[in-house]
Structure 1
Amino acid sequence: MIVYYDSYCKLCTTSSNIWKKLDWRDKLIFRSFRTLENYPKEMEESLHVQHKGKWWNGYDAIINIAKLLPALWILLPFLYLFKWVGLGNYIYGKIAANRKLVPVNHCQGDTCRIDKSPEH
């Protein structure tokens, strides 16, 4: 699965670093959509993932990441429950709309960096 995250967003990079540590089976590849030449503008608004020719974004992207990380499987029933009652997308939307962006070359220390790993 390719995870397209926003490298200008500290929350996004922190989340990606946590997922990378939980990815014991090397199922995730992390790419900043900001490095793509012509990325869809929707990527600026929500997390996007691509897996086996399918795309998910926002809260659905988080669910699909959790499906591939055994350490997060215990959360899947709650993630689906939140989706079913509408809270998942609502909370995701609020967080995404209020996240802080740090433009390129304005990072402090390693706060904007995601450790690169060889592609799988």
Structure 2
Amino acid sequence: MTLNLKLIVFYDNWCPMCTYIKQRINRLDWCNLIQMQGIRESGIENKITVPLEELEKKMYAVIKSTGKQVSGIDAITAIAMRIPVLFPLWPLLKLSSSLGLGQKIYQYIADNRSIVPINKCDSSCHIK
């Protein structure tokens, strides 16, 4: 049964907010259903058919058993469905996605996040 629930999540590992969320997901994923994959790692083009330019704009997730790809708020919804403590949020996320509001909020957040390339941060950076 868990084979059908496995999810690969593609996140921007140059984004401090994204890496923080990845760490939280890893801590809460008690059932080991979610595999996090940084989009800045070599060979990423062999793991998902979405171009890097699109992966840089929003989070993508692939359901392992079917190969179905979801993005943005739908990726967040897929994650919430697989993490027991986040499951109560699933109906709200699904409804917001269906109404179109969730994707707009997600895109606003994604468009306003910071990107810090690895080894490109100078002494003024304050990333923890």
TM-score past 0.5 threshold: yes
> Percent sequence identity over matched residues?
37
Deviation of 1:110 after TM superposition, in Å, equals: 7.5
1:101 aligns with 2:103: no
Residue 109 (structure 1) shift: 8.5
What is the aligned length? 111
Residue 30 of structure 2: aligned partner: 24
Q: Do residues 46 (structure 1) and 52 (structure 2) align?
A: no
Cα distance in 2 between the residues matched to 1:110 and 1:85: 35
TM-score (norm 2): 0.79
TM-score of the two chains, using structure 1 as the length reference: 0.83
The amino acid that maps onto 2:55 is: M
Where does the alignment leave 5 or more consecutive residues of structure 2 unmatched? 1-6, 46-50
**Secondary structure, counterpart of 2:116 in structure 1:** coil
1:116 aligns to what?
A: none
Which aligned runs of 4 or more in structure 1 are off by greater than 6 angstroms? none
Q: Distance in 2 between matches of 1:56 and 1:31?
A: 15
Aligned twin of 1:33: 39
> What's the Cα RMSD here?
1.8
If asked which structure has higher relative contact order (CA below 8 Å, sep 6+), I would say 1
Paired residues of 2:60 and 2:72 also in contact (CA < 8 A): yes
Provide the rounded CA distance (Å) in 2 between the counterparts of 1:29 and 1:38.
14
Structure 2 Cα separation of the partners of residues 110 and 101 of structure 1: 11
Match for residue 64 of structure 1 among 73, 78, 93: 78
